[in-house]
Structure 1
Amino acid sequence: MAVRGVWLALALPFLAIGLQKLTAYEAHAVAPLAASSPFLAWVYDLLGVRGASFAFAAVEIPTGLGLAAGVVRPTSWPARLAAPLAAATAFVTLSFVATAPGAWIVRDGLPLLTVEVGQLFAKDLVLLAAALLLTAQAWSPRRR
């Protein structure tokens, strides 16, 4: 039963943030961070800021819906597709720690994650682990 809570815990932010990607505010707030990513820079070159944000929403909203389906039936096709998509999204977002401007600062000779940017993306390590757990559950032969 606890794993069903993980499905829901991942579904809600994917849905909420995916819906926010449809707003101009979110599109412009995320652009400087995402455009610095080697995984996503081409999307901005191809579609521009608002188009890229709509493309990300087109991935995140269905992913959130699929994760929500996993609450009820973890081996359903929507859940099976959403869990690895959530893992891929978390991996790409986690990579911003290495590429986003202002993610790191050196203080007293130590590299530190900045509060404004770096720590924002550190949580994606947990999201990645949770999404991988759900992917394993969704594709487990024992659960079919």
Structure 2
Amino acid sequence: MITLIRQGLGLIAGPRSDRIGIDAMRIAIAIVFLWIGALKFAPYEADSITPFVANSPVMSFFYEHPEDYKAHLTHEGELKPDDRAWQTANNTYGFSRGLGSVEILIGLLTLAGLVSARIGFVGAGLAFLTPFVTLSFLVTTPEAWVAALGDAQHGFPYLSGGGRLVIKDVTILAGGWLVLADSARAILRQRPGRAVEMRQAS
């Protein structure tokens, strides 16, 4: 039994395992960006990110009336024509479609790293940088934390549904770095002379 366990551990710890893990991480990151990016074209998803965008000091200018967002929030699956009309006038959907397009592009560039180290490097770099923006929502968005509605558990560290969604981006941050580093190594392997120069310079 112990021998079988050690053989299993040996397979997991083998050099091919690293390659499988990196490629799996690349594909996983691409799936997240492609899927969530595509959903940005659906009104319900655009509505759900309204608090994050409206409270962001670097994104709120994309909305026409960010200060009024609270009066027009809806639950997923809920259709309120008046609020939908306000969101349209607020440019909620225009911004969401633009953001979705960027996310889809990042996903495609990251996935392309399976066949092109240079393109994959760009995608991984963007995937690594994106969480710095999304994680900032934990600071700027009140709705990221459980509201004080009577329960003792509210505010920090009690993440709301939106906050729990955001905190998951720490995995994208870490995974993006691993894929970025792998793409950089692949580029250096393609130019051995350049790799030697860089080692000498360091």
Alignment equivalent of 1:14, drawn from 16, 30, 33: 33
Cα distance, 1:44–1:142 mapped onto 2, change above 3 Å: same
**How does 1:113-132 map onto structure 2 within 5 Å?**
113-132=158-177
Q: Which of 1 and 2 has higher RCO (CA within 8 Å, sep 6+)?
A: 1
TM-score calculated relative to the size of structure 2:
0.62
State TM-score, norm by structure 1.
0.85
Q: 2:62 corresponds to which letter in structure 1?
A: V
Which structure would you say has the larger Rg?
Answer: 2
Task: Tell me the distance in 2 between the aligned counterparts of 1:60 and 1:93.
Answer: 12
Contact 2:145 2:154 in 1 (8 A): no
Q: Which amino acid aligns with 1:76?
A: R
CA–CA distance in structure 2, aligned partners of residues 108 and 62 of structure 1: 39
- What residue is the counterpart of 1:59 in the other structure? 102
Deviates more, 1:26-35 or 1:45-54: 45-54
Alignment map for 1:1-144 (pairs within 5 Å): 1=19, 2-45=21-64, 48-70=91-113, 72-73=114-115, 75-77=117-119, 79-105=120-146, 107=152, 111-140=156-185, 141-144=187-190
Instruction: Report the identity percentage.
Output: 33
State the superposition RMSD in angstroms: 2.4
- Give the counterpart letter for 2:118 in structure 1: S
CA-to-aligned-CA distance 1:23-46 (integer Å, 9 cap, x gap): 111111111222212232223349
Q: Residue type matched to 1:34 in 2?
A: V
Structure 1 Cα separation of the partners of residues 188 and 138 of structure 2: 36
Measure, in 2, the Cα distance between the counterparts of 1:26 and 1:111.
Answer: 25
Give the strand-richer structure, 1 or 2. 1
Q: CA deviation at 1:74?
A: 5.4
Mapped partners of 2:153, 2:43: distance in 1: 39
Q: Retained in 1: the 8 A contact 2:62–2:95?
A: yes
Deviation for aligned residue 1:84: 1.3
User: Would the aligned equivalents of 1:113 and 1:119 in 2 still touch at CA under 8 Å?
Assistant: no
How far apart are the structure 2 equivalents of 1:30 and 1:131? 23
- Quote the offset at 1:129 in angstroms: 1.3
Structure 1 unaligned residues grouped into runs of 5+: none
CA distance in 1, matches of 2:29, 2:134: 14
- Number of matched residues? 142
| Whole-Å separation in 2 of the counterparts to 1:6 and 1:21 | 23
Alignment check: 8 A CA contact 1:75 1:143 kept: no
SS of residue matched to 1:35? helix
